[in-house]
Amino acid sequence: MMKNMEEFLGKENIEKVEEKDWKPVYKISKINEGNYVLIYFTAERPQAKELEKNILQTAPKEFLNRYLLINLADEKRNKIKLTKKDKDKNVE
């Protein structure tokens, strides 16, 4: 799957890959432990949608049980808005 992602996104657009042995708080599909892989990459929104459709959704369920794509640019924007709103509340 990583090879497919590198080919699809371009190796230069994958910024960091972290592997973690975390235990989920609750069972997911009767599984109570597993390996988590965090992949930080740069892609335009249409390319990320294609990645999800062509690679993540088609991966075998015993290999990739769940995934989540997060747009960090949106997260940063939301955090800035919240921070600004919080500051405005403190001023009043």
Instruction: Give the pLDDT confidence of 15-63 residue by residue, as tens digits.
Output: 888 887 777 777 777 777 777 888 888 888 889 889 899 888 888 887 8
Task: Write down the pTM of the prediction.
Answer: 0.61
| DSSP for residue 11 | G
Domain total for the chain? 1
CA distance linking residue 11 with residue 1, whole number of Å: 13
Can you give the residue range of the structural domain that contains 64?
Answer: 2-91
Q: Is the pLDDT of residue 76 over 70?
A: no
Radius of gyration of the chain (CA): 17
Is residue 32 classed as helix, strand or coil in its secondary structure?
A: coil
Give the number of other Cβ atoms within 10 Å of residue 28's Cβ. 12
CA distance linking residue 39 with residue 42, whole number of Å: 10
